[in-house]
Amino acid sequence: MKPFMDKDFLLSTDTAKELYHNFASQVPILDYHCHINPQEIAQDRKFDNITQVWLGGDHYKWRQMRSNGVDEYYITGDAPDREKFQKWAETLEKAIGNPLFHWSHLELQRFFGYYGVLNGDTAEEVWNLCNAKLQEDSMSVRNLIRQSNVTLLCTTDDPIDDLRWHKVIKEDESFDVQVLPAWRPDKAMNLEKPEYLDYLSKLAAVSGVEIKTFADLKETIVKRMEYFDSMGCCVSDHGIDYVMYAPASDEEVEQIFADRLSGKEISKEAAAKFKTAFMLFVASKYEEFGWVMQLHYGCKRDNNKSMYAKLGPDTGYDCISNYAPGDQLADFLNAVNEAKNLPKTILYSLNPGDDELIGTILGCFQNSDAIGKIQQGSAWWFNDNKTGMMKQMTSLANLGLLGNFIGMLTDSRSFLSYPRHEYFRRIMCELIGGWVENGEYPKDMKNLEKIVKGISYNNAVRYFGFDLETK
C-alpha cells in the first residue's frame, strides 16, 4: 500500500515519477485566470487565522459543508472562526474521493508543514499550528505568492474598475511578481438583468461618454479597453450561460438597446441578438489589441433562489448545464473569423460532455497565426478533479495536440490555492507516463521534457506573450 500523499502522490509508474520530479515540479506557475483580490496583494495582507484564508469566499467548501448538514450559521453566518473551522474539519473527513480532500492536505503540507490528516479530532491541533504559522512574515499574501513560485497572475476585473491597486503593485519595486488585470465585461453585456441600467450609469461616469445608443456603448467599451491595455491587460474573460449566435442588423440591435434604455422588457430572442452583436464587436477589438479571448460557458447559476436572495451570486448554488451549443459556438467563431477578427481564444465548458465537441470545433479554426491559436481550457470548476482532468487531457490528445496545451489555472479566490497546479501536474505526468510505460509513446526524455514543461508553464508564456523579464 502506498503511503498517504507522499512525494509520489498520484504517480504510479517510474516514468510518471521521473516526469514530475525532474520536469513538472521544476518550473514556475503562471496563473492566467483567478479571482484573487488585488487590494490584498497591494496591502500585503496577513490573515489572523486559517478560517479567514481557507473558508472566506470558498463556495467549493461551502457546498460540501451544506452536504454534511452543517447549518449556514457555521458557513456564511456569524459563527466564531474556530467553530467554522471545526465544521469544515468534520466535513473533510467524509470527503473521500473529493479533490477538496487532496487540495486541503496539499496546502497543509506545502504552507504549514503538516503531514497528518485533518478531521474533527485533529482540528484543534491543526488550528493552533496554522494560526501560529500565519503570524510569521513569511505568510503574508505576497510571500505566499512568492513561496508558490508564481511569476505572473491575472485577476478578474470589471470595465468600471479603476485598477488603482494594480497601479500600486506595478509601481512597487519590492514585489517582483506581475499582477495584471483581466477584462470581464459580463455586466456590460447582460442587458436583461434588472440592474443593467444602473450599471450603464456607472460605466458612463468612468468613461466620460453618455450612453444613449449601442454605438455609445461600443465607444465606452473601447475607451475602457484602452485604459486596461495601458495597465498591461491582454486577457479577456466572459462568463456566459451558453454561446449564442443570433445575428441581427445594426438597426435591430440599436432598437433592442433603445427598448432596454426605455425600460421595456427584453425577450430572450432579443437578448440573444444583442449579446451576439456585443460579442462580435469585442472579439474584433481583442484581435485589434492583441488580447486573448476566454469563453466560460455551460453553467446554470443561482439555482436556489431563496439563498441567492440572502447571499447573492458565487455562494455555492450553481450547477452544470446540459445544453451543448455546438452549432452556435462554431457559427460564432466562423463569423468572427470571416470578418478577419478572430483573436486567440480559449474555450471552457462546465459540461464535461462537451470535451469532444470543443476538441473538434477548435480544430476548424487553427492556423499559422499562433501555435494552438484556439485552445480548450483546462478542466473547469466541477471538473478540476482527477477524473475530469484525465478526461479533458485524454480528449484533447485524441482530437488535437496535447503538447500545445496551455495547462492549469487556479480560478480561485484563495492565496493558498496554488498547490492545485501541483495536483494538475501530477495527474498530467501520471497520464503521459502511463502512455510511455504502455509503449504508446517513446521514452524520449528530451521531447517529454519539452512537452511536460510546456504544458506546465512554457506554452502559456508563449501563448499569452507575457514579458516575464520585467515587472
pLDDT computed for residue 471 by the predictor: 35
Three state DSSP letters for the chain: CCCCCCCCCCCCCHHHHHHHHHCHHHCCEEECCCCCCHHHHHCCCCCCCHHHHHCCCCHHHHHHHHHCCCCHHHCCCCCCHHHHHHHHHHHHCCCCCCHHHHHHHHHHHHHHCCCCCCCCCCHHHHHHHHHHHHCCHHHCHHHHHHHCCEEEEECCECCCCCCHHHHHHHHCCCCCCEEECCECCHHHHCCCCCCHHHHHHHHHHHHCCCCCCHHHHHHHHHHHHHHHHHCCCCEEEEECCCCCCCCCCHHHHHHHHHHHHCCCCCCHHHHHHHHHHHHHHHHHHHHHHCCEEEEEECEECCCCHHHHHHHCCCCCCCEECCCCCHHHHHHHHHHHHHCCCCCCEEEEECCHHHHHHHHHHHCCCCCCCCCCCEEECCCCHHHCCHHHHHHHHHHHHHHCCHHHCCCCCCCCCCCCCCHHHHHHHHHHHHHHHHHHHCCCCCCCHHHHHHHHHHHHHHHHHHHHCCCCCCC
Cβ-in-10-Å burial (0-12, 13-18, 19+) of 137 comes to exposed
Tens of pLDDT along the chain (471 residues)?
A: 999 999 999 999 999 999 999 999 999 999 999 999 999 999 999 999 999 999 999 999 999 999 999 999 999 999 999 999 999 999 999 999 999 999 999 999 999 999 999 999 999 999 999 999 999 999 999 999 999 999 999 999 999 999 999 999 999 999 999 999 999 999 999 999 999 999 999 999 999 999 999 999 999 999 999 999 999 999 999 999 888 899 999 999 999 999 999 999 999 999 999 999 999 999 999 999 999 999 999 999 999 999 999 999 999 999 999 887 899 999 999 999 999 999 999 999 999 999 999 999 999 999 999 999 999 999 999 999 999 999 999 999 999 999 999 999 999 989 999 999 999 999 999 999 999 999 999 999 999 999 999 999 999 999 999 988 533
Decide the pairing of beta strands 150-154 and 292-297.
Answer: unpaired
Identify the burial level of 40 via C-beta atoms within 10 angstroms of its C-beta, where 0-12 means exposed, 13-18 middle and 19 or more buried.
middle
CA nearest neighbour of 328 among 270, 273, 382, 290: 273
pLDDT at 470: 38
pTM (two decimals): 0.97
Task: Judge residue 364's burial from the number of C-beta atoms within 10 Å of its C-beta, 0-12 exposed, 13-18 middle, 19 or more buried.
Answer: exposed
Amino acid identity, position 256: I
Q: Can you read off the three cell numbers belonging to residue 126?
A: 491543526
**pLDDT at site 46:** 96
